[in-house]
Structures are given as structure tokens and as C-alpha cells.
Amino acid sequence: MEKTADVVIIGGGVVGLSIAYYLALKRAGRIVLFEKGQLGEGSTSRCAGGIRVQFSTEINIRFSLESLKTFEQFEEEFGVNPEFKRIGYLFLATTEWEIGVFKENMKLQKKFDIPVEFLSPNEIRSRWTYLRMDDILGGTFCFWDGYAGPNEILTGFASGAKRVGVKIYEGMEIMGISLAKGKIHSVKTKDEEIFTPVVVNAGGPYAASIGGMVGIKVPVKPLRRQIFITAPFHLTDQPIPLTIDFHRGWYFRKEGDGLLLSGPLDLEPSLNLNIDYAAMAETSENAMYRVPALEKARIARGWAGLYEISPDHHAILGRVPEVEGFVLANGFSGHGFQHSPAVGKVISELITDREANTIDISSLSIERFAKGELMVEPMTAFKE
Ligand SMILES: Cc1cc2nc3c(=O)[nH]c(=O)nc-3n(C[C@H](O)[C@H](O)[C@H](O)COP(=O)(O)OP(=O)(O)OC[C@H]3O[C@@H](n4cnc5c(N)ncnc54)[C@H](O)[C@@H]3O)c2cc1C
């Protein structure tokens, strides 16, 4: 085990591994990553893999567009097929307010030349005949969107990081961080102390407890979301987009021969990873409401994972003013998988070049909460 490192990353999910990879590419010195369990065992392996450009804030769209470049050439760069399926995202609106929000979002998305289309109920009915349409007022569709394999992306970043020299330790929890004169001094595992000037908090739903090690309140709450998978089910021969019933906060997409159905998102923070019957019943009800043919589908399995929610549902990225050398990559609020490539790039730039050039991340600083400069997102009703 190294006694010193130039950068220590805490957390071996997709975000920590992406940061490790891009840091090593930029020759940031000795980079060591600690994961308390196994790589990916946090939120990453439990996520739905959704990737979309249909966001409602400029900063999220920039992160999506930058990350898309990596997903598109993932196999060439990492030698792993990312299983990126560009099936599109279909957002469905059932109220006039939602139609207004969708149209506003489209205006913003069009500024970035994103090929998003507004669809009338008749257009939706003719393209996706299995949907219940009597309450749908319209929707938006973008064929750039889709999903990729969380484990494939994680594996690509992990093997890429190792190839460029990152040392990765699994089964090693960081239990404390020591400071000297307000600067990062070392991290401590149960048995070891590693001296380093820079620590990256990539702890996903555990971000707040890592922040607590240096006396910083990182406002990230873990919220459970459940997911259910049906037994093999044939709905149509046509491609099925990732379809979001915006009002109900429910979505579904294909998963192998079956379908992935989103379950409820808890309102209260917890680290509970169980699935429960009430959630399964609610999920089935949402599914049968929007896709009546699913009455015949059988739920075969399910799992729960933790969203890492920030107060304004945007990431918290960058340094903290109180502790020199402490860097945050937290609070992705359900988008951390799809934004992980861009996050790796900007955090590696911040550490090696003093500032992020690929995307200006100043609006995502933790200081925004104290200043009351929260991000404003009209579409907070739904998170994938
Ligand atoms: C059900 C569900 C569906 C989702 N769907 C999507 C989606 O469609 N698209 C999308 O973009 N995102 C989605 N997300 C969100 C996405 O999963 C997360 O934003 C992303 O995985 C965050 O990655 P991470 O590396 O920051 O966190 P994690 O993957 O949680 O990794 C953090 C790691 O830090 C480790 N750790 C914590 N504390 C310590 C410590 N003290 N010492 C050492 N290690 C430590 C943990 O064990 C963990 O492995 C979904 C999430 C859930 C739960």
C-alpha cells in the first residue's frame, strides 16, 4: 500500500472511476481510489442506465452533450461494448402545465441543436399503439436519447483507470480525513494512513458522511428508488422508447426480453435497500394504466437503489472554500451515471489545471446554497 498519493478518490462508483481515469490521462501523479465494498456496489450497479439530452437546464444539457461524445466512442476508447441503445426518450404530458414546461424545455434544447420533436396525441397514438391515450395532451421525443449498461461503463472506466496507472483498493473504507492548517493532510483506513494533499469525495449517497470527516455539510440525501423487471413479455415488434409518464413519475423501457418498470421514489431519506410489496403494487398500477397490455405481464424481480439528492436536484461540483484540497463530485440527483464522463473530465481539469475548461462548473459550487443561488429546474416532478 502506498504511503503517499497526489490525489485520493473516495468511492468506486462510476463517478469516482471516471475521475480517476481522466486524472491519470492528464498525468496527475499517483492516484489512489478507495472503495469500501466492491466497485459499483453503490448506486451505479442499481441504476437504470438512462442517457438523455432532454434536460431543462443549460448546465445539465452541457453535461449530457459532453458525456454523449464518450458514450458514442466508448468501445474504441475503453475496449468495452457499452451496450448503448439509442431508442429515444418519449416524455408524455397529461396537463396543460406539463405541455407548457415541455415547450419551454424544447426551446432551450433547440438552442443546442438537439433534434427534439413535439408530438401531438395522434402522432403518439400512431407510433406507439400500445399506449393508453385518452388523457395524453402531447409529448416530446428525441432519438439521441437511450440507455447504456451501468456495469459495462463502470468496467470500462475501471479497466481504463488501471491501465493508466491508478491504484484501486476494494474492501477499504476511508474512516477519517486529517487536516493540517485547514488543508487536506491524510486519509485513514482501519489500518493505514495515506498522506495526500487532495481528496475527492465521490461517495454517492454517502457524500454527507465523507463531508462530515472534514467538518463540511454536504447537502446530499439518500432517497430509495425501487425498480421492477417483468418476466419475458412481448409488447410490440417496434422499438420501444424509454417512455415517461411525467405526471405519474413513472417510466419503462425494454430490459432483455422483459421490461424495466420504475417504482416509487421515497420521500424520506434512508439507506434502506429493500423492495416492498406496496411499491410493487403501485408500479403495476402505473404500468397497467399507461400500457393496458401489461395486465398480462408478470413481475419477476426487482431491486432498490439510492438517489443522491441535492436541494436543487443538480450536482455539487468543485472545491470547498473552508478546506484546501477537498473536492466534491456529489449530489447528481438521479443523473450521475449519464453525466459521469463529463464529470470525470471537469474534475480532472479542476485538479490539474486549477479550473474546469470543458464546462464552466462555477454554478454548481457548494457555495450556491449559502448564497441562495440555487439552480432552477421546472421539471423537478420527475427523475429517472
Ligand atoms: C434506481 C436508480 C435508477 C437510476 N437511474 C439512473 C439513470 O437512468 N440515469 C442516470 O444517469 N442515473 C441514474 N441513477 C443515478 C445513478 O445511479 C447515480 O447518480 C450514480 O451511480 C452515482 O455514481 P457515484 O459513483 O457518484 O455513486 P455510487 O455508485 O454510489 O458510488 C459511491 C461509492 O462510494 C463508496 N463509499 C462511500 N463511502 C465510502 C468510504 N468512506 N470509503 C470508501 N468508499 C466509500 C460506496 O460504497 C459506493 O460504491 C439511478 C439511481 C437509482 C438508485
pLDDT tens column, 320-357: 999 999 999 999 999 999 999 999 999 999 999 989 99
Q: Within a 10 A sphere around the Cβ of 187, how many other Cβ atoms?
A: 24
Cα of 316 to ligand 1 centre, how many Å?
14
Nearest CA to ligand 1 atom 38: 203
**Residues across the chain:** 384
Does the structure show a pLDDT above 90 at 130?
yes
What's the 246 CA to ligand 1 centre distance in angstroms? 23
The predicted pLDDT at position 291 comes to 98
Q: Is the pLDDT of residue 382 over 80?
A: no
What atom in ligand 1 is closest to the CA of residue 39? 49
In terms of Cα–Cα distance, which of 35, 253, 18 is closest to 153? 18
Say which residue, 298 or 381, is predicted with more confidence.
298
Nearest to 366 by CA among 320, 312, 311, 308: 320
Cα-to-centroid distance, 205 and ligand 1 (Å): 6
Does ligand 1 have an atom closer than 6 angstroms to the CB of 48? yes
**pLDDT-based confidence at 383, cuts 50/70/90?**
very low
> How close is the Cα of 44 to the center of ligand 1, in Å?
4
d(CA 157, CA 18): 6
Nearest CA to ligand 1 atom 31: 13
How far apart, in whole angstroms, are the C-alpha atoms of residue 217 and residue 200?
Answer: 15
Atom 35 of ligand 1, residue of closest alpha carbon: 11
CA distance 320 to 214: 11
Q: How many angstroms is it from 13 CA to the middle of ligand 1? A: 6
Which residue bears the cell 417512455? 243
Determine if ligand 1 sits within 6 Å of the CB of residue 222.
no
Average pLDDT over every residue of 289-315: 97
Q: How do residues 11-57 score in pLDDT, each as one tens digit?
A: 999 999 999 999 999 999 999 999 999 999 999 999 999 999 999 99
The vertex-51 CA angle with 344 and 274, nearest 5°, equals: 90
pLDDT value at position 378? 66
C-alpha cell at 147: 440507455
Return the best residue to mutate from 22, 34, 41, 44 for the ligand 1 pocket (most ligand atoms within 8 A of CB).
44
Query: How large is the average pLDDT for residues 88-101?
Result: 95
Instruction: Kindly state if the Cβ of 341 falls inside 6 Å of ligand 1.
Output: no
Tell me whether strands 183-188 and 176-180 are parallel, antiparallel or unpaired. Answer: antiparallel
For 95, residues 6+ apart whose C-beta sits below 8 A from its C-beta are: 137, 247
pLDDT digits (tens, 9 = 90+) for 53-80: 999 999 999 999 999 999 999 999 999 9
Rounded to the nearest whole angstrom, what is the distance from the C-alpha of residue 265 to the centroid of ligand 1?
15
Judged by DSSP in three states, 365 sits in: coil
- The percentage of the chain sitting over the pLDDT mark of 90, rounded to a whole number, equals 96
Ligand 1 atom index nearest CA of 210: 41
Q: Is the pLDDT of residue 297 over 60?
A: yes
Confidence band, pLDDT 50/70/90 cuts, at residue 381: very low
380: pLDDT strictly greater than 60 = no
Q: How far is the CA of 202 from the centre of ligand 1 (A)?
A: 9
Mean pLDDT of the chain: 96
Average pLDDT of span 293-305 = 97
- For the chain, what is the radius of gyration of the CA atoms? 21
Can you give the pLDDT at residue 377?
75
| Position 384 confidence tier, pLDDT thresholds 50, 70, 90 | very low
Nearest atom within ligand 1 for CA of residue 305: 53
156-208 pLDDT tens trace: 999 999 999 999 999 999 999 999 999 999 999 999 999 999 999 999 999 99
Q: How far is the CA of 203 from the centre of ligand 1 (A)?
A: 7
* Res. 379 pLDDT band, cuts 50 70 90: low
